Structure 1
């Protein structure tokens, strides 16, 4: 026997490959995972998805089945002609000056309030990032205070503060000035919307700005960039995803708000959250109220698409996708 053959025989055996799970075990694992995720899916489908489908069918004139009772009680209900849906309720609303005015007011209040909230939150976050100190801590603490005050109490306080005999008019009268009355106007609705939406936006925007590496800011300063150049070219782009998420959450919350415009706003025009409640209960026109709800839902879906895009971009930048 040669030396080469002895060397070959003395080589250790190759390590055994790990056993792969069989197709049956893999299928059982998938089935177990699906069974664990099924209960919340079923609950969402039963208590959210199914009522949405039912309400959408009712808005198109399908008044049978579970929609039968509300269609009998309600007024000005448009019924489908056989199996063909009808857009009668949508035509009623989009030709109604009241609805169009409320829709315009809702969009304007949402845009203005969201802009003010994001600017205030960004201002507080930038001050904390570049200055800090006691003033920055006080500002951040004051911005979070509305979290601990119920919206109803805050709405009544805002209403009284800007009323005809409120603090501002009383203080202005001592100086011989005539301060305007803002109670039951859209001004108080904007103020109340900013008050209730500022805490969450401040927390989210501030955390996003604080996550910007200080080394990037120092490098921009060393290159000769001014303060505003650093903010617009370095800080805000790097914290863009949290700012977008805070903007979308704020806009959706203000768009569907009810308590603040109900307590502080005028009777007409007012935001759609209040108007659809009036149509459903006071005017007894549930089909028209459902149409308003789906209009708000459509606008909120457009805003939510921006939120999904921001999350996808954030996941892509982190390497998750």
Structure 2
């Protein structure tokens, strides 16, 4: 067996790296969000300025990420459910092969792909025109908030689906088969039997996706060249254009609170369920 000291030696470099590259910058950013450099004092001036200039962007970020998370959950359940309950072998195999592709594409590449796909003269509109569904004068650009949502959903759905499909595959098939023998439809089996048993895994995947989308800079910057925009663009703008780290740190603090609230709700629910099981 590995001794306790040897275990500490093994995990020490990883902990040191995480503390140096993540915890230290995070703590510095959170603390100095309260530092008003112009007035040489500590206070809430940076937060007041952030809300005055970027309140619309704060609400925009919250709406975009929340909407994307909901859609990711819906599509993940649908895809994972078909992989688990689908009755057409070739369709299941094809879906299993196709849905994972966005996993290996970085966000910056995904944003560039969507710029080409969703533009007014992009691939999507050209295909609709060729099919006779639209005329060239009816085409419209989706390079706005819709493009951000589409990119986020397309990029993150495979990640959540992979987790949920794995959890569904590990379930005891006897309950599913019993429901099928009794004539239950696949939708009722999915939402009445399968989804409640993988809800915890689904929640973990959605929270991780929520946090990831809140931190992405390339997608809103490359797709949505208008106002309002997301907080990551505002933070980059305050630093690059003004060298204003105080307001940028305040915006980061607000984004951190938005993600922390979601995580807190999940942790509270998890602790409540564990306490109920312990009784």
- Sort the TM-score into its range (normalised by shorter chain): 0.7 to 0.9
| 1:179 aligned residue (124, 128, 139) | 139
State the match for 2:73 in structure 1. Answer: 118
Please list every run of 5 or more consecutive structure 2 residues that lacks an aligned counterpart in the other structure.
none
Distance 1:213 1:31, change over 3 A: closer
Cα distance in 2 for partners of 1:286, 1:103 equals 17
State the match for 1:21 in structure 2. Answer: none
Distance 1:169 1:299, change over 3 A: same
**1:33-74 per-position Cα deviation (integer Å, ceiling 9, x unaligned):** 555544433443333333333223322127xxxxxxxx5xxx
State the match for 1:232 in structure 2. Answer: 191
Distance 1:216 1:78, change over 3 A: farther
**1:246-272 per-position Cα deviation (integer Å, ceiling 9, x unaligned):** 111111111111111111112321111
- Give the C-alpha shift of residue 307 in structure 1: 5.2
| 2:21 aligned residue (44, 47, 50) | 47
| 2:172 aligned residue (191, 201, 213) | 213
Correspondence 1:303-318 to 2 at 5 A: 303-306=262-265, 308=267
Task: Tell me, yes or no, if structure 1 residue 58 matches structure 2 residue 17.
Answer: no
- Give the C-alpha shift of residue 182 in structure 1: 1.2
Give the TM-score normalised by structure 2: 0.85
State the match for 1:144 in structure 2. Answer: 100
- Give the C-alpha shift of residue 244 in structure 1: 1.0
Compare relative contact order (CA 8 Å, sep 6+) and give the higher one, 1 or 2.
2
State the match for 2:83 in structure 1. Answer: 128
Number of aligned residues: 271
8 Å Cα contact 2:34/2:250 also seen in 1:
no
- Give the C-alpha shift of residue 164 in structure 1: 2.3
Cα distance in 2 for partners of 1:267, 1:222 equals 55
Cα distance in 1 for partners of 2:11, 2:273 equals 25
- Give the C-alpha shift of residue 150 in structure 1: 3.5
- Give the C-alpha shift of residue 30 in structure 1: 5.5
Distance 1:35 1:222, change over 3 A: same
State the match for 1:247 in structure 2. Answer: 206
- Give the C-alpha shift of residue 221 in structure 1: 4.2
Name the Cα RMSD after superposition: 2.9
Distance 1:30 1:93, change over 3 A: same
**1:140-172 per-position Cα deviation (integer Å, ceiling 9, x unaligned):** 221111123343333222112221222333344
State the match for 1:299 in structure 2. Answer: 258
User: Partner of 1:92: helix, strand, or coil?
Assistant: helix
